[in-house]
Amino acid sequence: MLVSKGRKIVSKLYVQVLIGIVAGILVGHFYPDIGSQLKPLGDLFIKLIRMLLAPIIFASVVVGIARMNDLHEAGRVGVKAVVYFEVASTIALLIGMVVVNVIKPGSGMNVDPSHIDGAAIATYTHAAKQHGMLEFFMSIVPNSIVGAFANGEMLPIIFFSVLLAISLAKLGPRTAPFVDMLDMFLQGMFGVVRIVMYVAPIGAFGGMAFTIAKYGIGTLASFGELMLCLYLTSIFFVVVVLGFVMRLCGLSLWKFLRYIKDEILITLGTASTEAVLPQMLIKMEKMGCSRPVVGMVLPTGYTFNADGTAIYLTMAALFIAQAMNIHLSIWDQLLVLAVLLLTSKGSAGVAGAGFVALAATLASMHKIPVEGLVLLLGVDRFLNEARAVTNLIGNGVATVVVARWEGQIDMDRARVVLNRENTDEIEELRPAAHPAAEPASASEAPVGSNAH
């Protein structure tokens, strides 16, 4: 009986991922030569997921909007999502600024900017030059939609998908067969996701082994105060701010975190929220959020609602200033905050995007030397894990908020799903009914069906 129970526990994805993370830490620490060669395992898993992102986001957005009864509803959802994203990002930036000013993790380092070699960050500073607001808005419109799909450029894909969905909605019922076909294609893509998720523990193992082997646990001690600040601030933001938001929505944050524990652990191991986007789309709809809201809010939030990245950016920018003994007045810090509100947009769920946004911020400020980024290179991967997990949770909560705001969430279903200790039982639930969504035909399965 104990053996049977043990096998059942180990068969759960989050347990396998957790084992992979622990094994990766041990291999990276005790066998660094081996660990440093395991990066391809993590990269392969991310690559498998990225292979699916473009078609899944395209189909989710098109099917969701095309099946809305009212196009004004789609616009309303979009506006509400942007309003929430801006408020949440601003709060995250402010919290990061307050904490780094109180604890001052960079004070006493006395780094001389003239002694820093900027060659190590040349890639990031070059990318930062293309990170201005004009370039950002220009990048939304692709030169070629085929090129956008081939390169996996999320913003252009979302932009094209919204335009196509609006066009299909205006054409009326005659487009239903095409939308149904896209829906069937989406179900097929989610089936591929279920296959790919079997290798998630291996990806988490490889990513963690490489990180520990390359940077070493000793690196954590050197920048321990900054890391502690970021992790504790991220936990505070999730527990207090997002917890309060979920309570306003009438749901429990803790139960929601338990519900997405697989995705949290995979994000922790791979340091990328992209790795779990398909699974999050499935789970948010299964939880009771309507497909149109999930299809619009979640992918867009990956670009516009990076709460963890916002916390990281303020803390990292002011940490560099403190380490170099650069005094920033309250007005200088508010200016940093204003610039970050712009540069933090467009950081996708890819590892390292926050580093590019930080480089763009410092380059546009001319107050803090961009070369100061070298101070963060050794620990950025560890910092990235905290911000990626916070981004993931923040986008899940954002989807719940907008769905609740729009009356597009089945609260009874959400409570049943979140109260289930055994989420496998959720499969037995019927598809959620949403007042503003078209009733599904008998042939249409919910996005979340048979997801595990």
| Residue 202 in this model has a pLDDT that exceeds 70 | yes
Range with the largest mean pLDDT of 110-124, 126-140, 156-170: 156-170
Q: Are 99 and 229 in contact (CB under 8 A)?
A: yes
Range with the largest mean pLDDT of 8-12, 212-216, 395-399: 395-399
Q: Where are the beta strands (DSSP E) in 185-321?
A: none
Of the chain, the percentage scoring pLDDT greater than 70 comes to: 76
Environment class of 398 (CB within 10 Å of its CB; exposed 0-12, middle 13-18, buried 19+): buried
Tell me which amino acid residue 60 is.
S
How high is the pLDDT of residue 364? Answer: 64
Mean of pLDDT over the chain: 77
pLDDT tens track for 314-347: 888 888 888 888 888 888 888 778 777 766 665 5
Higher pLDDT, 348 or 111: 111
How high is the pLDDT of residue 154? Answer: 72
Of the chain, the percentage scoring pLDDT greater than 90 comes to: 15
How high is the pLDDT of residue 401? Answer: 94
Lowest-confidence segment of 122-126, 167-171, 361-365 by average pLDDT: 122-126
Average the pLDDT over 427-440 and give the result.
Answer: 42
What structural domains and CATH numbers belong to the chain?
Answer: 9-428 (1.10.3860.10)
Helix H or strand E encompassing 77: helix 71-103
| Residue 133 in this model has a pLDDT that exceeds 70 | no
Average the pLDDT over 108-133 and give the result.
Answer: 54
Tokens coding 217? 């646990």
Q: Are 275 and 289 in contact (CB under 8 A)?
A: no
Write the DSSP assignment of 272-296 as a string of letters. Answer: -GGGGHHHHHHHHHHTTB-HHHHHH
Residue 80: which of 286, 293, 252 has the closest Cα? Answer: 293
pLDDT tens track for 288-320: 998 888 888 888 887 777 788 888 888 888 888
Average the pLDDT over 197-207 and give the result.
Answer: 85
* Local confidence band at 354 (pLDDT 50, 70, 90 cut-offs): low
How high is the pLDDT of residue 243? Answer: 95
> What are the b/e assignments for 419-451, b being 16+ CB within 10 Å?
eeeebeebeebebbebeebeebeeebebbbeeb
How high is the pLDDT of residue 366? Answer: 66
* Local confidence band at 95 (pLDDT 50, 70, 90 cut-offs): very high
Question: Using CA atoms, how far apart are residues 141 and 185, in angstroms rounded to an integer?
Answer: 25
How high is the pLDDT of residue 341? Answer: 73
Q: Are 211 and 382 in contact (CB under 8 A)?
A: yes
